[in-house]
């Protein structure tokens, strides 16, 4: 997962998202950092509804009150990236942590 974040920063969010999607859903279903990263990448891809859903999942899995506050603040529209990256063809997350392709 660290590789997905690093690639997203070094290349772009689309490549980071592709790497994150390669992780089996079962391996990260309840892994909060993965959902926080998904929210970040989806926001950078301007997939706001999906970013919000991933952020809510990350908040729900978070045990640290300070981290929950931080994640909630990330959902404020001014905190979202205004980049122009788009990834309309990528798998979409649902509330169950599935995208229909057996990945995250």
| pLDDT surpasses 70 at 19 | yes
96: its two tokens: 């169950």
Q: Which residue has the higher pLDDT, 42 or 101?
A: 42
| pLDDT surpasses 50 at 37 | yes
**Strands of the chain, DSSP E:** none
Q: What is the pTM of this model?
A: 0.67
Digit-coded pLDDT (tens) for 39-95 = 999 999 999 999 999 999 999 999 999 999 999 998 776 444 444 333 333 344 444
For residue 2, the model assigns a pLDDT of 74
Summary count for the chain: helices (H), strands (E): 6, 0
For residue 56, the model assigns a pLDDT of 95
Q: Radius of gyration (Cα) for the chain, nearest Å? A: 12
């Amino acid at each position: 997962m660290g590789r997905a974040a690093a690639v997203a920063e070094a290349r772009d969010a689309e490549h980071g998202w592709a790497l994150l999607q390669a992780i089996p859903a079962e391996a990260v279903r309840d892994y909060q950092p993965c959902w926080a990263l998904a929210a970040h990448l989806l926001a950078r891809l301007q997939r706001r509804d999906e970013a919000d859903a991933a952020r809510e999942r990350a908040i729900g899995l978070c045990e640290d009150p300070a981290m929950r506050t931080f994640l909630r603040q990330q959902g404020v529209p001014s905190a979202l990236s205004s980049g122009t990256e788009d990834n309309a063809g990528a798998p979409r997350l649902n509330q169950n942590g599935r995208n229909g392709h057996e990945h995250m």
